[in-house]
Chain A
Amino acid sequence: MNGNDHNQESWLLCRAGSHLCALPLAQILEVMRPLPIEPLAEAPAFIRGIAVIRGAPVAVLDLGHLLGQTRTKPSRFVTARVGGRTLGLAVTEVMGVLREDQIGAHAAVPLLREAAGEAVSTIGSLDSEALLFLDKLQLLMEGVPV
């Protein structure tokens, strides 16, 4: 799975806070239960800290907080391969996998994209609920300490 553009076929549907998000399935490594996190003192607020996943330290981001939500207790960790590094995303719920044809018409709304941040490439809808497509996960790595 190496598709980084918008023509990916499958997305991992999850909920971060109250937002419904779609992560590119090609970059997803694993879904797991939350693991213990070591907070980082001077890291940005959306970074929860470092968790040891499969024997390696992985930075864990709070996706909901990243999207402007208040911090909530995560129920799942989602690990993704971004630029040769593993990134942990703390989400509220993993709801399943969506294929391209299962998603309603989605078009880029620049204004909303600016408001949602650079990581959100597209905003669609699913069952009358807004769906944020986060296909540029590498942008999330910019605030993550090495």
Chain B
Amino acid sequence: MISRWTFGRRLAAGFGVACAVLLVIAGITYHNTTNLVDTEDWVAHTYEVRSRLADLTAALTTAESGERGYLITGNDNYLETYRTALASVKTAVDDVRRLTSDNPRQQDRVNQLQPMIETRLANLRDAIDTRRTSGADAAAKQIQQNGGLSSMEKIRALIVDADHEEGELLRVRAVESRGATTFTTGVIIWGGLAGLAAIAAIGSLITSSLGRQIGSAVSHVESSAAELQASANQQAQSASEQSTAMNEISTTINELLVSSRQIADSAQRVAGSAEQTAIAARGGQGMVDQTSDSIGGIRRQMDQIVTHMLELGKKSQEIGAVLDIVLELAEQTNILAINATIEAAGAGENGKRFAVVADEIRKLADRVGGSAKEIRTLIEEVRGAVNTTVMATETGSKAVDAGSRQFLDLSAAFRQIAALVASTTEAAREIGLSTKQQTSAVDQVNVAIADVTQTARETETSASETLKTASQLSQLAGDLLRIIRPGTSE
């Protein structure tokens, strides 16, 4: 995991460990020094307590001396000493009580000592009062009765005990002070040595690790510099080729620009032609509409022709019926004439003239029959012609219908052509506009290609600079490698 740390992290970790060692040493030293100072304070405190106990003893002695001097001499100057000693006694007792407040045994002693002192001081005051009122003898007698010597001894014994207590505490604290001093000295010496060793080890470790990694990185940098040199060479070559290609593209784009302008002109001409075609298509549409109306008229005329022809056929049929009657009459006349001829022949000479008339009648009937047959034939031909005409007219009517439909289709086609031509016109305009835009875009492309060409040249220059930089980087890598590995040759 440490191998993945950055240099800064490693350095921070190394300095952190060194600082931690120093902090531990400093902490321990600080703690011991503080203890030592406390111990010294307590030693001073003990000395002060012992001093106050000595002051108490001295004040009591002074008070007793002043009381004795006054008792002996009656001189009031001794009373002054006495009074001063009383204040000192009180102060010393208060100081001892205050200074030994943390020690219950000493407090007990003070508590025992204070009434004894008060009693003793009361005895001294009583003796002084007795001396002042009753004289020296009465005072001596009172002193003997009060047993002042024993109470003073008891007071001294308690003060000595208290002093012994403080002396014992002083001895213990002196031992603690020496131990703390010794420990602190050891910590400072051995901790300092250990810290130096740890810092040296960490420094060696960091130096070794960084040397390895920097060496590896420098090797990589050298390799990368070589690759960068090759890449820069290739880039320079590519930039040169790109510049050449850009020049060719620029030439092609110029040709494309000329073509685009020609296309724009052609599109404009196409738009003009399409507009003329649209006008022609609209004219054609009008002619188609007129022709469609004419076809409608022809259709109506054809219908009238069919009607007339059918009427003619009907009349022909009626003529045929009349002809049938005529034929029937002619045939009947023929038969009657023949029979009349037969009868006339039977009449001999008398019937000859009648026979001639009858024969003429028969011939007339034959001619009528023949004419009727011819008329029938003609009528049949007329009917056939009428039928043919009707059929032809119907065929023509169907053809007219088909033609009308075709003209409708043609009209629709013309409208579609007009719409398509309009669409073509619009498309041609759009093509023209698009081509102009394309021409503008091609101009922009041309400018961009010029920029790209310039960029390619700059890239070529930059590649040369990169090549130079790569060489310098390679040289720097060698220098760095020699710095971290002094034995490395160039």
Q: Which residues does A use to contact B, with CB under 8 Å?
A: 1, 9-10, 12, 25-26, 28-33, 76, 94, 96-97
Residue B277 lies at the interface, judged by CB distance under 8 Å to chain A: no
Residue B362 lies at the interface, judged by CB distance under 8 Å to chain A: yes
* Chief secondary structure at chain A's binding surface: strand
Chain B positions 328 through 370: 1 when the CB is less than 8 Å from some CB of chain A, otherwise 0? 0001001100110110011000000001000100110010000
- Range of interface residues on chain B? 10 to 19
A residues less than 8 Å from B362 (CB atoms): 96-97
Q: Is the CB of A33 within 8 A of B335?
A: yes
A residues less than 8 Å from B334 (CB atoms): 94
- Give the contacting residue for B335; candidates A28, A29, A31; CB below 8 A: A31
Residue with the highest number of chain B CB atoms closer than 10 Å, among A1, A9, A26, A97: A97
A residues less than 8 Å from B341 (CB atoms): 25, 96-97
A residues less than 8 Å from B342 (CB atoms): 12, 25, 28-31, 97
Q: How far is the CA of A146 from the CA of B296 in the complex (A)?
A: 78
Q: Is the CB of B345 within 8 A of A96?
A: no
B residues less than 8 Å from A12 (CB atoms): 338, 342
CB distance from A16 to the nearest CB of B (A): 16
Q: How far is the CA of A97 from the CA of B337 in the complex (A)?
A: 10
Can you list the 3 inter-chain pairs with the closest CB atoms, starting with the nearest?
A97-B341, A31-B338, A1-B346
B residues less than 8 Å from A10 (CB atoms): 345, 355
B residues less than 8 Å from A76 (CB atoms): 335
B residues less than 8 Å from A28 (CB atoms): 342
Give 27 A-B contacts (CB < 8 Å), ordered by A residue: A1-B346, A9-B345, A10-B345, A12-B338, A12-B342, A25-B342, A25-B345, A26-B346, A28-B342, A31-B338, A31-B339, A31-B342, A33-B335, A94-B334, A94-B335, A94-B338, A96-B341, A96-B359, A96-B362, A96-B363, A96-B366, A97-B338, A97-B341, A97-B342, A97-B345, A97-B355, A97-B359
B residues less than 8 Å from A97 (CB atoms): 338, 341-342, 345, 355, 359, 362
Q: Is the CB of A26 within 8 A of B339?
A: no
Nearest opposing residue in chain A for B363, CB measure: A96
Q: How far is the CA of A114 from the CA of B341 in the complex (A)?
A: 32
B residues less than 8 Å from A29 (CB atoms): 342
Given contacts A30-B342, A31-B339, A94-B335, 5 further A-B contacts (CB under 8 A): A9-B345, A10-B345, A28-B342, A29-B342, A33-B335
Nearest opposing residue in chain A for B343, CB measure: A30
Q: How far is the CA of A97 from the CA of B346 in the complex (A)?
A: 13
Q: How far is the CA of A12 from the CA of B344 in the complex (A)?
A: 13
Q: Is the CB of A26 within 8 A of B338?
A: no
CB distance from A100 to the nearest CB of B (A): 12
A residues less than 8 Å from B331 (CB atoms): 33
CB distance from A101 to the nearest CB of B (A): 13
Q: How far is the CA of A31 from the CA of B341 in the complex (A)?
A: 10
Q: How far is the CA of A26 from the CA of B342 in the complex (A)?
A: 8
Residue with the highest number of chain B CB atoms closer than 10 Å, among A1, A9, A32: A1
Nearest opposing residue in chain A for B341, CB measure: A97
A residues less than 8 Å from B363 (CB atoms): 96
Nearest opposing residue in chain A for B355, CB measure: A97
Q: How far is the CA of A30 from the CA of B342 in the complex (A)?
A: 7
Q: How far is the CA of A9 from the CA of B359 in the complex (A)?
A: 15
Nearest opposing residue in chain B for A97, CB measure: B341
- Give the contacting residue for A32; candidates B335, B346, B359; CB below 8 A: B335
Q: A96-B359, A97-B355, A97-B359 are in contact. Are A1 and B345 (CB under 8 A)?
A: yes
Q: How far is the CA of A96 from the CA of B345 in the complex (A)?
A: 13
A residues less than 8 Å from B359 (CB atoms): 96-97
Nearest opposing residue in chain B for A8, CB measure: B345
Nearest opposing residue in chain A for B337, CB measure: A96
Q: How far is the CA of A25 from the CA of B359 in the complex (A)?
A: 14
